[in-house]
Structure 1
Amino acid sequence: MNDTVIGVGVIGCGEIAQLMHLPFIHELPSFRIAALCDISVGVIEKLGAQYGVEALYSDYTALIADPAVDAVVVCTYDHGDIVAAALAAGKHVFVEKPLAFTPEEARPMVEKAEASGLVAMIGYMKLYDPGYEIGLEKIATIGTPRSIHIHDFAGRFDTYGALYTQVKATDIPADVMATSRAAAAGRIEASLGPDHAGYVGLYLLLLMLGSHDLAVLRGAFGSEARVRYAQPVGEDQLLAVLEFGEGVPCYLDIGVAHYEWWDEFLHVHGDTDEVRIQFQNPYWRQASAVVTVREAAPSGASERRLPGVPDTAFRREWKHFADCILNGAKPRTPLSGGLDDLNLAVAIIKAMPPKPV
């Protein structure tokens, strides 16, 4: 690495890498794309031509060994072994959420990262959303909350296809991903224990969709959440009641809906004021969360909308990653936060009625 440009190796060149990470790594002057790795040779050949990258690998260990790679971004389905290998090789790490599938897998990753002196960051992009940052400032002014509500029914994930060009893999055997997912499910069942192993699907919902919401809560109210109640609502929805601080209740509901709009918000009720952070579709660039503040006015209630600045949370997290590597800034989303969220996800599932496999 020279003094100002970080060579990045991208491991896992699927949807999120192509739509969000590669464009910003390519755009930002602090980075250059040094190498690409994917199990699809066809994908990396096309992306290599698109971005002018000659170092193309189908084995992540070869990419990590490449001396031109200073930092690794991990966008695969299963992250643990790759993160461990990158840290052992002295590479900075940016890993997509979830950090791992179980707390048992994540704990040694966190310990290795903290002992390494390297920058290791998890991709919780919502914590870099300009609107979320504005919302935190407003939440801090209303005192101890009376109640908290975090809601995420998401929306259709196929509507962004017309916005971007994505190279789809056609040369991966169908059983490869199925084998990987089955192995992860087995580890999750073991972690949840026999009484709750039947909730693998809802646990994965918490990790793949809800982990952003757990991170948003942690960023606003800390990591000391206690689970007071949890209940499945069918196969693709759950609700839970958490508690923060001195008995502040938090209602959490997460599910899969197929709305034409994006349905995700954090709403905080204080004694006299309310703050609502309405998140946008994460695949929309230049669209940050919108904050609504309801407060007292001489004639009754006053409601103000505070739109965030037009920037992309993914871009902002990459700028922060560069600041951490080049200038010694402290990571805002360290791996330890991912472990906290995994612990909370397990606690939510274990608060549900028993459901053996």
Structure 2
Amino acid sequence: MQVGLIGAGNIAQIMHLPYLVEIPETEVAAIADPGTNVVEELGDRYDIPGRYTNSDDLIAEEAESLDGVVIATPMHTHAETAITALEADLHTFVEKPVAVTPEDAADVVAAADDTDAVCMIGYMKRYDPSYKRFAEELENAESIDLITNTVIPPDVGSVIGEVYDNIPADLDDEFLQASGEQRAAQLQAAIGTDDETLTRAYGYHLESICHDVNALRGLFGEVTAIDHVDVFNGWQYLTAQLRYEGDRRCTLQSGATERKWYDERIRVDAPEGSYALEFSNAFIKNTPTEIKIKRGGTEEIEESRQTPSHEESFKLELEYFVECAEGREEVLTGPREAKRDVELIADLIRAHDGRDPVGSY
């Protein structure tokens, strides 16, 4: 499978590009990034013949020879780039979130519906062997009393800097300003306000919790109601009370810190005990996700811990994308549910601000 990589920032350099080179069925034939220095150095390092500083140029000039693209650009460019690739009938893997605005997410859904090409969103946690085992364990729960999801990542930049020697892009101030203005305009359009604090809150929490919102969707189905939302400590913290199918209650907690340790977990409390899925640092390769189960509690307590696999979920999702492109699997994390994720997170901010939702619950 001939693949083009669009966007060569941190996650592409750490995960996508090395694994695309490693997977036997894929060959990276082209790369695009606005940083010329990144394109040239990675092109030399991985022997990539097609080199571009513009994604549209890569798609236009390589579409006939490529089978698909992997899009790892900044989130405010995901939708436009994905639509261009799908219109060229290229199998398209796009990093989460699928878009910043629900309207742009809907446009990606429409573009995917108009082609036979695969469109898959990069929710790598859904491909984690521990997540799959956790879902199986939850089937043993008699009923569910409470779901709690906590997402408080570390200072990602400092962690990456200590572990990897990534290539920073040399970008001029004019480009960065234009990109920032495009991002801000989309954030404001999604939440219906230009309030600086809420705009920043939406930008951060959209990028931070969309993985978890999708993981919860895979476990518990659709959100049926947003009962309460609070945004506090400026833009840094968000809490929400949600209801899922079957009137299952969920407390969602999202925050931003400068610390270097990772705190991302899903916990389910049931009458007979608790089930917890504790994610490791997503930017450190092959660190396993752990399952913790406690049963009992009134007289005896039975505790167990499981680490089903050290396989890297970023690699597993790319392998699954290849299988979908080759017709051996059906898309698991497609644009339609990714659109619902964007709607939900936008509606968390809109609910806090007293605005009508864009999604239906």
Give the TM-score of the pair, scaled to structure 1.
0.93
Pick aligned residue for 1:51 from 9, 28, 46: 46
- 81-90 or 254-263, which moves further after superposition? 254-263
- Residue 67 of structure 2: aligned partner: 70
Secondary structure in 2 aligned to 1:177? helix
Distance 1:143 1:149 in 2: 17
Distance 1:136 1:317 in 2: 17
Task: Give CA-to-partner distance per residue, 1:63-116, whole Å, 9 cap, x none.
Answer: 113122211111111112211111111100000111111101110211221231
- Residue 135 of structure 1: aligned partner: 134
Distance 2:325 2:155 in 1: 36
Percent identity of the aligned residues? Answer: 29
- Residue 181 of structure 1: aligned partner: 180
Kindly provide the amino acid, as one letter, of the partner of residue 138 in structure 1: E
- Residue 328 of structure 1: aligned partner: 328
The question of whether the paired residues in 1 share the 8 Å contact of 2:238 and 2:254 is answered with yes
- Residue 314 of structure 1: aligned partner: 314
- Residue 88 of structure 1: aligned partner: 87
Within 5 Å, which residues of 2 pair with 1:125-204? 125-157=124-156, 158-170=158-170, 172-194=171-193, 199-204=198-203
Structure 1, unaligned runs of 5 or more: 1-5
Distance 2:177 2:115 in 1: 34
Distance 1:69 1:195 in 2: 40
- Residue 3 of structure 1: aligned partner: none
Superposed displacement of residue 198, structure 1: 5.3
Q: Structure 1 residues 165 and 196, CA, compared in 2 at 3 Å: closer, same or farther?
A: closer
Superposed displacement of residue 224, structure 1: 3.0
Distance 2:186 2:269 in 1: 39
Distance 1:344 1:88 in 2: 27
Within 5 Å, which residues of 2 pair with 1:25-36? 25-36=20-31
Kindly provide the amino acid, as one letter, of the partner of residue 18 in structure 1: Q
Q: Structure 1 residues 155 and 194, CA, compared in 2 at 3 Å: closer, same or farther?
A: closer
- In the alignment, structure 1 residue 271 sits paired with structure 2 residue 277: no
Q: Structure 1 residues 169 and 254, CA, compared in 2 at 3 Å: closer, same or farther?
A: same
Distance 1:40 1:297 in 2: 56
- Residue 359 of structure 2: aligned partner: none
- Residue 233 of structure 1: aligned partner: 232
- In the alignment, structure 1 residue 15 sits paired with structure 2 residue 14: no
Task: Give CA-to-partner distance per residue, 1:192-237, whole Å, 9 cap, x none.
Answer: 2249785111111221111111111111111234210001112211
Superposed displacement of residue 246, structure 1: 3.0
Kindly provide the amino acid, as one letter, of the partner of residue 72 in structure 1: V
- Residue 358 of structure 2: aligned partner: none
How many residue pairs get matched? 349
Task: Give CA-to-partner distance per residue, 1:251-308, whole Å, 9 cap, x none.
Answer: 0010012333211100001121210000000012112210001113896110100113
Q: Structure 1 residues 257 and 194, CA, compared in 2 at 3 Å: closer, same or farther?
A: closer
The question of whether the paired residues in 1 share the 8 Å contact of 2:151 and 2:255 is answered with yes
Secondary structure in 1 aligned to 2:114? helix
Task: Give CA-to-partner distance per residue, 1:108-161, whole Å, 9 cap, x none.
Answer: 211221231211111111111111111111112103311000001111312233
Secondary structure in 1 aligned to 2:223? coil
Within 5 Å, which residues of 2 pair with 1:288-299? 288-296=288-296
Q: Structure 1 residues 282 and 194, CA, compared in 2 at 3 Å: closer, same or farther?
A: closer
Secondary structure in 2 aligned to 1:150? strand
The question of whether the paired residues in 1 share the 8 Å contact of 2:6 and 2:70 is answered with yes
Structure 2, unaligned runs of 5 or more: 356-361
